[in-house]
Protein backbone atom coordinates (compact mmCIF):
# COMPACT_ATOMS: atom_id res chain seq x y z
CA UNK A 1 0.00 0.00 0.00
CA UNK A 2 1.23 3.45 -0.87
CA UNK A 3 1.80 5.43 2.34
CA UNK A 4 1.49 8.84 0.70
CA UNK A 5 -1.99 10.28 1.32
CA UNK A 6 -3.04 7.18 3.28
CA UNK A 7 -4.97 7.72 6.52
CA UNK A 8 -3.20 6.06 9.45
CA UNK A 9 -4.90 5.60 12.84
CA UNK A 10 -2.47 4.94 15.71
CA UNK A 11 -3.63 3.89 19.16
CA UNK A 12 -1.33 4.97 21.94
CA UNK A 13 -0.22 7.67 19.51
CA UNK A 14 0.52 10.19 22.24
CA UNK A 15 3.88 8.71 23.23
CA UNK A 16 6.54 6.06 22.66
CA UNK A 17 6.18 3.70 19.72
CA UNK A 18 2.90 5.30 18.66
CA UNK A 19 4.30 8.83 18.56
CA UNK A 20 7.36 7.66 16.60
CA UNK A 21 5.08 5.91 14.12
CA UNK A 22 3.02 9.07 13.74
CA UNK A 23 6.12 11.06 12.82
CA UNK A 24 7.37 8.38 10.41
CA UNK A 25 4.11 8.18 8.50
CA UNK A 26 3.50 11.92 8.48
CA UNK A 27 6.98 12.45 7.03
CA UNK A 28 6.08 9.97 4.28
CA UNK A 29 3.00 12.00 3.38
CA UNK A 30 0.29 10.15 5.31
CA UNK A 31 -2.53 11.71 7.30
CA UNK A 32 -2.39 10.59 10.93
CA UNK A 33 -5.13 10.04 13.49
CA UNK A 34 -3.74 9.85 17.01
CA UNK A 35 -6.05 7.81 19.21
CA UNK A 36 -5.15 7.98 22.89
CA UNK A 37 -6.61 8.78 26.28
CA UNK A 38 -7.75 12.39 26.73
CA UNK A 39 -4.94 13.04 29.22
CA UNK A 40 -2.27 11.75 26.83
CA UNK A 41 0.07 14.31 25.18
CA UNK A 42 -1.51 13.82 21.76
CA UNK A 43 -1.71 17.56 21.14
CA UNK A 44 2.03 17.87 21.71
CA UNK A 45 2.73 15.09 19.21
CA UNK A 46 0.45 16.82 16.69
CA UNK A 47 2.73 19.87 16.73
CA UNK A 48 5.51 17.71 15.28
CA UNK A 49 3.35 16.50 12.36
CA UNK A 50 3.11 19.84 10.54
CA UNK A 51 -0.67 19.82 10.32
CA UNK A 52 -0.95 16.28 8.92
CA UNK A 53 -3.00 14.83 11.74
CA UNK A 54 -5.74 15.04 14.34
CA UNK A 55 -6.02 13.92 17.95
CA UNK A 56 -9.00 11.63 18.59
CA UNK A 57 -9.27 11.01 22.35
CA UNK A 58 -10.60 7.56 23.22
CA UNK A 59 -10.18 4.55 25.51
CA UNK A 60 -9.41 1.50 23.37
CA UNK A 61 -11.66 -0.68 25.56
CA UNK A 62 -14.74 1.48 24.85
CA UNK A 63 -16.81 0.70 21.74
CA UNK A 64 -18.53 4.09 21.87
CA UNK A 65 -15.33 6.12 22.23
CA UNK A 66 -13.53 4.22 19.47
CA UNK A 67 -16.50 4.67 17.13
CA UNK A 68 -16.43 8.39 17.91
CA UNK A 69 -12.73 8.50 17.02
CA UNK A 70 -13.42 6.66 13.77
CA UNK A 71 -16.12 9.20 13.05
CA UNK A 72 -13.63 12.03 13.55
CA UNK A 73 -11.21 10.35 11.14
CA UNK A 74 -13.92 9.85 8.54
CA UNK A 75 -15.14 13.45 8.86
CA UNK A 76 -11.64 14.87 8.45
CA UNK A 77 -10.00 12.47 5.99
CA UNK A 78 -12.80 10.35 4.51
CA UNK A 79 -11.38 6.90 5.32
CA UNK A 80 -8.93 4.83 7.37
CA UNK A 81 -6.36 2.78 5.45
CA UNK A 82 -3.91 1.74 8.17
CA UNK A 83 -4.37 0.88 11.84
CA UNK A 84 -1.38 0.60 14.19
CA UNK A 85 -2.27 -0.70 17.66
CA UNK A 86 0.33 0.59 20.13
CA UNK A 87 -1.82 1.27 23.19
CA UNK A 88 -0.86 -0.87 26.15
CA UNK A 89 -0.05 -1.05 29.85
CA UNK A 90 2.33 -3.15 31.94
CA UNK A 91 1.97 -4.28 35.55
CA UNK A 92 4.74 -6.31 37.19
CA UNK A 93 3.44 -8.67 39.85
CA UNK A 94 4.43 -12.16 40.95
CA UNK A 95 1.56 -14.62 41.16
CA UNK A 96 2.42 -15.23 44.82
CA UNK A 97 4.18 -12.76 47.11
CA UNK A 98 4.68 -13.47 50.83
CA UNK A 99 1.96 -16.10 50.53
CA UNK A 100 -0.48 -13.52 49.16
CA UNK A 101 -1.91 -14.25 45.67
CA UNK A 102 -1.66 -11.72 42.88
CA UNK A 103 -4.52 -9.31 42.21
CA UNK A 104 -7.06 -10.75 39.78
CA UNK A 105 -8.33 -7.24 39.12
CA UNK A 106 -4.92 -6.01 37.97
CA UNK A 107 -4.41 -9.12 35.82
CA UNK A 108 -7.80 -8.59 34.16
CA UNK A 109 -7.04 -4.91 33.54
CA UNK A 110 -3.86 -5.72 31.61
CA UNK A 111 -5.76 -8.27 29.50
CA UNK A 112 -8.57 -5.77 28.98
CA UNK A 113 -6.33 -3.00 27.64
CA UNK A 114 -3.63 -4.92 25.79
CA UNK A 115 -5.60 -7.80 24.30
CA UNK A 116 -9.28 -6.91 24.35
CA UNK A 117 -8.52 -3.27 23.53
CA UNK A 118 -6.47 -4.33 20.49
CA UNK A 119 -9.28 -6.62 19.33
CA UNK A 120 -11.92 -3.96 19.94
CA UNK A 121 -10.22 -1.29 17.85
CA UNK A 122 -9.29 -3.78 15.13
CA UNK A 123 -12.83 -5.08 14.69
CA UNK A 124 -14.33 -1.58 14.53
CA UNK A 125 -11.71 -0.14 12.17
CA UNK A 126 -11.89 -3.24 9.96
CA UNK A 127 -15.57 -2.49 9.39
CA UNK A 128 -14.54 0.98 8.25
CA UNK A 129 -11.76 -0.38 6.01
CA UNK A 130 -14.27 -2.66 4.29
CA UNK A 131 -15.81 0.49 2.76
CA UNK A 132 -12.52 1.50 1.08
CA UNK A 133 -12.00 1.18 -2.65
CA UNK A 134 -9.42 -1.60 -3.25
CA UNK A 135 -6.09 -0.78 -4.89
CA UNK A 136 -4.65 -2.70 -7.85
CA UNK A 137 -3.87 -5.67 -5.59
CA UNK A 138 -7.36 -5.69 -4.14
CA UNK A 139 -6.06 -4.25 -0.87
CA UNK A 140 -8.29 -2.11 1.32
CA UNK A 141 -6.26 -1.80 4.51
CA UNK A 142 -3.43 -2.89 6.79
CA UNK A 143 -3.53 -3.61 10.53
CA UNK A 144 -0.34 -3.69 12.62
CA UNK A 145 -0.55 -4.93 16.21
CA UNK A 146 2.08 -4.65 18.93
CA UNK A 147 3.03 -7.70 20.96
CA UNK A 148 6.34 -8.12 22.82
CA UNK A 149 9.18 -10.57 23.24
CA UNK A 150 7.44 -11.24 26.56
CA UNK A 151 4.92 -13.19 24.49
CA UNK A 152 7.72 -15.71 23.90
CA UNK A 153 9.90 -15.43 27.03
CA UNK A 154 7.96 -13.87 29.84
CA UNK A 155 9.98 -12.90 32.89
CA UNK A 156 9.21 -13.29 36.58
CA UNK A 157 6.29 -11.01 37.41
CA UNK A 158 5.12 -10.76 33.79
CA UNK A 159 2.28 -13.28 33.83
CA UNK A 160 -0.37 -10.69 32.96
CA UNK A 161 1.72 -8.80 30.41
CA UNK A 162 2.96 -12.00 28.73
CA UNK A 163 -0.53 -13.45 28.58
CA UNK A 164 -1.89 -10.28 26.98
CA UNK A 165 0.88 -10.04 24.39
CA UNK A 166 0.80 -13.77 23.73
CA UNK A 167 -2.89 -13.34 22.97
CA UNK A 168 -2.16 -10.54 20.51
CA UNK A 169 0.37 -12.75 18.75
CA UNK A 170 -1.97 -15.76 18.71
CA UNK A 171 -4.88 -13.87 17.15
CA UNK A 172 -2.78 -12.32 14.38
CA UNK A 173 -3.08 -15.20 11.92
CA UNK A 174 -6.79 -15.94 12.44
CA UNK A 175 -7.65 -12.26 12.08
CA UNK A 176 -5.50 -12.06 8.93
CA UNK A 177 -7.43 -15.03 7.57
CA UNK A 178 -10.76 -13.48 8.60
CA UNK A 179 -9.99 -10.18 6.85
CA UNK A 180 -8.38 -11.64 3.73
CA UNK A 181 -11.80 -11.71 2.08
CA UNK A 182 -11.97 -7.90 2.16
CA UNK A 183 -8.31 -7.31 1.28
CA UNK A 184 -7.03 -6.26 4.71
CA UNK A 185 -3.61 -7.53 5.85
CA UNK A 186 -2.71 -8.07 9.51
CA UNK A 187 0.77 -8.32 11.03
CA UNK A 188 2.21 -7.97 14.52
CA UNK A 189 5.51 -6.51 15.69
CA UNK A 190 7.03 -8.00 18.86
CA UNK A 191 9.56 -5.44 20.17
CA UNK A 192 12.31 -6.24 22.63
CA UNK A 193 13.44 -3.63 25.16
CA UNK A 194 12.84 -0.17 23.68
CA UNK A 195 13.27 3.41 24.88
CA UNK A 196 9.62 4.01 25.76
CA UNK A 197 7.80 5.64 28.69
CA UNK A 198 7.39 2.16 30.21
CA UNK A 199 11.18 1.93 30.64
CA UNK A 200 11.80 5.60 31.40
CA UNK A 201 10.97 5.08 35.06
CA UNK A 202 13.70 2.47 35.53
CA UNK A 203 17.00 3.33 37.18
CA UNK A 204 20.16 3.62 35.10
CA UNK A 205 21.67 0.38 36.52
CA UNK A 206 18.52 -1.52 35.56
CA UNK A 207 18.57 -0.03 32.06
CA UNK A 208 22.22 -1.00 31.66
CA UNK A 209 21.41 -4.55 32.76
CA UNK A 210 18.69 -4.73 30.12
CA UNK A 211 21.08 -3.52 27.44
CA UNK A 212 23.65 -6.13 28.45
CA UNK A 213 21.21 -8.92 27.53
CA UNK A 214 20.90 -7.74 23.91
CA UNK A 215 23.46 -9.42 21.61
CA UNK A 216 23.57 -6.71 18.93
CA UNK A 217 23.18 -3.83 18.78
CA UNK A 218 23.91 -3.72 22.54
CA UNK A 219 21.51 -0.92 23.37
CA UNK A 220 17.81 -0.32 23.83
CA UNK A 221 15.76 -0.14 20.68
CA UNK A 222 14.69 3.24 19.35
CA UNK A 223 10.99 3.93 18.77
CA UNK A 224 11.93 5.17 15.29
CA UNK A 225 13.14 1.63 14.48
CA UNK A 226 9.71 0.26 15.32
CA UNK A 227 8.17 2.95 13.10
CA UNK A 228 10.44 2.05 10.17
CA UNK A 229 9.32 -1.58 10.36
CA UNK A 230 5.66 -0.56 10.61
CA UNK A 231 6.02 1.50 7.44
CA UNK A 232 7.71 -1.40 5.65
CA UNK A 233 4.85 -3.73 6.58
CA UNK A 234 2.38 -1.29 5.07
CA UNK A 235 4.41 -0.96 1.89
CA UNK A 236 5.17 -4.69 1.42
CA UNK A 237 2.00 -6.48 0.23
CA UNK A 238 3.32 -10.00 0.91
CA UNK A 239 3.65 -9.44 4.65
CA UNK A 240 0.50 -10.88 6.17
CA UNK A 241 -0.43 -13.02 9.17
CA UNK A 242 3.07 -12.77 10.62
CA UNK A 243 4.56 -11.76 13.98
CA UNK A 244 7.99 -10.17 13.55
CA UNK A 245 10.43 -9.96 16.45
CA UNK A 246 12.31 -6.65 16.61
CA UNK A 247 14.80 -7.27 19.38
CA UNK A 248 18.47 -7.39 18.35
CA UNK A 249 18.48 -11.20 18.89
CA UNK A 250 17.38 -10.77 22.51
CA UNK A 251 16.05 -13.80 24.39
CA UNK A 252 14.77 -12.68 27.76
CA UNK A 253 16.21 -14.32 30.89
CA UNK A 254 13.92 -15.30 33.79
CA UNK A 255 14.58 -11.96 35.53
- Catalytic, 161? Answer yes
Q: Band of the pLDDT at 61, cuts 50, 70, 90?
A: very high
Tell me what pLDDT residue 200 has: 73
Contact criterion met (CB below 8 Å) for 24 and 189: no
- Average pLDDT for residues 69-90, to the nearest whole number? 97
When the pLDDT of each residue in the chain is averaged and rounded to a whole number, the result is 94
Give the tens place of pLDDT for each residue, 197-217. Answer: 877 777 788 778 888 889 999
Q: How far apart are CA 190 and CA 182, in angstroms?
A: 25
- Average pLDDT for residues 62-69, to the nearest whole number? 98
Pick the catalytic residue: 161, 172, 184, 186?
Answer: 161
- Average pLDDT for residues 136-162, to the nearest whole number? 95
**Residue 174 CB-half CA count within 13 A:** 7
Tell me what pLDDT residue 50 has: 76
Q: Band of the pLDDT at 1, cuts 50, 70, 90?
A: very high
CA 221 and chain centroid, separation? 15
Tell me what pLDDT residue 196 has: 86
Q: Band of the pLDDT at 133, cuts 50, 70, 90?
A: very high
Question: Please, what are the domains in the chain?
Answer: 7-193+222-246 (3.40.50.720)
Q: Band of the pLDDT at 42, cuts 50, 70, 90?
A: confident
Tell me what pLDDT residue 44 has: 87
Reported residue count of the chain is: 255
Query: What percent of the chain is predicted at pLDDT more than 90?
Result: 81
- For the chain, the distance separating the N- and C-terminal CA atoms, rounded to the nearest angstrom, is 40
Contact criterion met (CB below 8 Å) for 112 and 161: no
- Average pLDDT for residues 72-96, to the nearest whole number? 95
Amino acid sequence: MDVKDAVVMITGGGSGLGAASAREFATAGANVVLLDLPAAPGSEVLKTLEGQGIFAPADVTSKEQVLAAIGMARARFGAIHVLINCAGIAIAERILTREKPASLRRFARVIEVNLIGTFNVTRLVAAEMAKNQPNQDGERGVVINTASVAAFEGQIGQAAYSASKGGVMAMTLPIARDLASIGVRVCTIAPGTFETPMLATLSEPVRKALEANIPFPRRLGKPSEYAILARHIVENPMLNGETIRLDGALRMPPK
